[in-house]
Amino acid sequence: MTASGLNIRQLCTEPTVTVKVGPEEKQFYVHKTLLTHHSEYFRKALQPGRFKEGQEGIVCLEDVDASVFGVFVDWLYRQTMPVSAGWGVTEVTKLCPSMMTRCNLLACLFVLADRFIVPKLKPDLTKLTVTFFNTFTGVPNHETITYAYGNLSPHSPFLQLLADAYCKNWKPSRDYKEWKSVGELPKDFFRRLVYRYARPDSPLRDVPLVASKYVAEPPAPRDSA
């Protein structure tokens, strides 16, 4: 059995699909069973007779980073992240050349899991992100914050996780390089910071983050009649 609970012998006889990723159309040959088992997006896209992807067995993702998608494929087969919270820049860039920090990579992977509807991957990424910010005293960089807030639903717990990590670890000396561009951060991020600072019962610093707080995604509010 694979880590996904799929029979290895059966998987070896299953067809693969070609996923062309990024502007350079880097090709990944992935077992269709794995993609459709874990991703609702691919499950629908690869239905025979519904879309051309299902007929041809080829999916094109021009706006996806190929190295990030490669980490996702690694997770599909191993069911564990090949990313350590303790990795430095060298390890991250070897695994994913387009990324410069662990925080960037984790956020890009979370956005990918959200876009392609891979519910089992999100908790793994959340736990790894929480471990990272509990272990190290850095804050989410501005690039990560802007990317996550621009690509995730406002109801995503991952956005609150970034805001809470910022409150927990921020000190002027840790953010001085990016301070000039702080006004360009998303308004929703600032709203969350203000809310945290306004709550007298909510400790801001040196209190460990708890992964379970950020796993369940709250339902979107319904429009009032």
**Pairing, β 58-61 against β 16-21:** parallel
Q: How confident is the model at residue 57 (pLDDT cuts 50, 70, 90)?
A: confident
Residue 123: per-residue pLDDT: 93
Residue 208: per-residue pLDDT: 87
Residues 115 and 183 both lie in one domain? yes
Q: How confident is the model at residue 103 (pLDDT cuts 50, 70, 90)?
A: confident
How far apart, in whole angstroms, are the C-alpha atoms of residue 17 and residue 27? Answer: 10
- Token readout for 203 is 């400790």
The mean predicted confidence, pLDDT, of the chain is 81
Task: Name every residue whose Cβ is closer than 8 Å to that of residue 225 and which is 6 or more positions away in sequence.
Answer: none
* H-helix or E-strand spanning residue 20: strand 16-21
User: Residue 205 falls within a domain, yes or no?
Assistant: yes
- 10 Å CB burial of residue 86 (0-12, 13-18, 19+) is exposed
Instruction: Sort residue 66 into left (φ over 0), alpha (ψ -120 to 50) or beta.
Output: alpha
Residues 19 and 88 both lie in one domain? no
User: Residue 225 falls within a domain, yes or no?
Assistant: no
Segments forming the whole domain that contains residue 161: 81-214
Residues 46 and 105 both lie in one domain? no
Residue 170: per-residue pLDDT: 81
Beta strand segments in the chain, E = 16-21, 26-31, 58-61
Instruction: Give one DSSP letter per residue of 58-99, joined into a string.
Output: EEEETTS-HHHHHHHHHHHHHSS-S--TT--HHHHHHH-TT-
**Between helices 142-151 and 187-198, what is the axis angle to 10°?**
110
Residues 129 and 198 both lie in one domain? yes
pLDDT surpassing 50 at residue 219 = no
Residues 110 and 207 both lie in one domain? yes
Residues 138 and 185 both lie in one domain? yes
User: Residue 69 falls within a domain, yes or no?
Assistant: no
Residues 126 and 160 both lie in one domain? yes
pLDDT tens-digit readout, 159-209: 999 999 998 888 766 555 666 677 788 999 999 988 877 666 666 666 889
User: Residue 75 falls within a domain, yes or no?
Assistant: no
Among residues 63, 92, 115, the one where a domain terminates is: 63
Task: For residue 59, list its beta bridge partners.
Answer: 19
80 versus 223: the higher-pLDDT residue is 80
Residues 58 and 145 both lie in one domain? no
State the Cα angle at 92 between 89 and 95, rounded to 5°.
150
Q: How confident is the model at residue 29 (pLDDT cuts 50, 70, 90)?
A: very high
pLDDT tens-digit readout, 128-157: 899 888 888 788 988 899 999 999 999 999
State the Cα angle at 156 between 51 and 103, rounded to 5°.
95
Q: How many helices (H) and strands (E) does the chain have?
A: 11, 3
Residue 4: per-residue pLDDT: 55
How many domains, in total, are found in the chain?
2
Residue 225: per-residue pLDDT: 32
Residues 85 and 185 both lie in one domain? yes
Among residues 17, 32, 63, the one where a domain terminates is: 63
Share of the chain above pLDDT 70, in %: 73
By residue count, the chain amounts to 225
Residues 41 and 85 both lie in one domain? no
- Token readout for 219 is 């339902």
- Token readout for 143 is 């690039």
Residue 221: per-residue pLDDT: 40
pTM above 0.85, yes or no: no
Residue 218: per-residue pLDDT: 47
User: Residue 142 falls within a domain, yes or no?
Assistant: yes
* H-helix or E-strand spanning residue 179: none
Residues 92 and 44 both lie in one domain? no
Residues 56 and 120 both lie in one domain? no
